[in-house]
Homo-oligomer: A and B are copies of this chain.
Amino acid sequence: MRANYKMQRLFVIDDLAPDIEFEAGQQQSHYLLHVLRLGEGAEILVFNGRDGEWSAAISAKTKRAVRLKVSALQRPQPPLPDLVYCFAPLKQGRLDYLVQKAVEMGAGILQPVITQHTQVAKPSIDRLRANVVEAAEQCGILAVPQVREAEKFDRLLTGWDTERRLIFCDEDASTNNPLAALQAVKEKKLGLLVGPEGGFSDDERKMLRALPFVTAIPLGPRILRADTAAVAALAVMQATVGDW
């Protein structure tokens, strides 16, 4: 079912079921009271990534806190998309953007990967998570992607589930047609790996190409920035073999 875009949607940590009441977090209370200026009885939508989307009303408020009472289920909980999105962390602004876009484009798991040319060795998992939640709230996504701890490139590959096809964006791919390569993919379980600004090192590219569960796709005649490549690859992949 399509999301309702007229109503405010909040991610909450509480369990959701009919008539459950809980207090919204401090920031969320502030937002509801002082930004949206909602009063008692006002309705919003809430979701927690587990129990689907519910309507809820402000049942009580003080100057600082809001209590919400859950009423009816609006949309059932969909499964998490089975797409592992692996990405080299970028500098903060572009990383925020990349994470938001990945959520919109249907990633299920966000896996930061530290490659040789990665500039940001320790991305803030809390900040990645905050961006995931923001994108989910805004875009009506109930299956909130998981954010994993950063992993080194080699360890990611040695630990990879070989039944999951890993697509990677190769500046030097031997074809210029990503559709043919993607349409040849048989696996239902997919991963996507997008490198840092500066791309993969020669060693990394060599290692990727030697692995039987890896498919290289080209990303067109122009060199794309890493955050552009991420969205472009997700779009082409989802439209061809994924969730579109």
Interface residues of A (CB under 8 A from B): 2-3, 5, 97, 101, 104-106, 138-141, 176-179, 218, 220-225, 228, 231-236, 238-240, 243-244
Q: Is the CB of B223 within 8 A of A139?
A: yes
Contact B179 A239 (CB under 8 A): yes
> How many copies of this protein are present in the complex?
2
Task: Name A222's contact: one of B106, B223, B225 (CB within 8 Å).
Answer: B106
A234 to chain B, nearest CB (A): 8
Given A220-B238, A236-B239, A225:B179 Cβ within 8 A: no
C-alpha gap A140/B178 in the complex (Å)? 22
Given contacts A235-B231, A236-B235, contact A139 B222 (CB under 8 A): yes
Least Cβ distance of A95 to chain B in Å?
14
Contact between chains at A239 and B178 (CB < 8 Å): yes
- Complex alpha-carbon distance, A234 and B179, angstroms: 15
Which residues of chain B come closer than 8 Å to A239, judged between CB atoms? 177-179, 220, 236
- A243 in complex: contacting residue of B5, B141, B220, CB < 8 Å: B220
Report how far A124 CA is from B226 CA in the complex, Å: 27
A139 to B235: give the CA distance in the assembly, Å.
20
Q: Which of A221, A224, A228 has the most CB of B within 10 A?
A: A228
Q: Which residues of B contact A218 (CB under 8 A)?
A: 244
Which of B139, B141, B176, B225 lies in contact with A139, CB distance below 8 A? B225
Cβ–Cβ < 8 Å partners of A105 in chain B:
220, 222, 224, 228, 232
Contacts known (A105-B232, A236-B235); A244 close to B220, Cβ less than 8 A: yes
Complex contact B240–A221 (CB within 8 A): no
Bound CA span A232–B240, Å:
12
CB neighbours of A224 from chain B (8 A) = 104-105, 139
In the complex, A240 Cα to B243 Cα: how many Å? 17
21 contacts between A and B (CB under 8 A): A3-B223, A5-B223, A104-B228, A105-B222, A105-B228, A105-B232, A106-B222, A139-B222, A140-B222, A141-B222, A176-B244, A177-B244, A179-B239, A179-B240, A218-B244, A221-B244, A231-B232, A232-B232, A232-B235, A235-B235, A235-B236
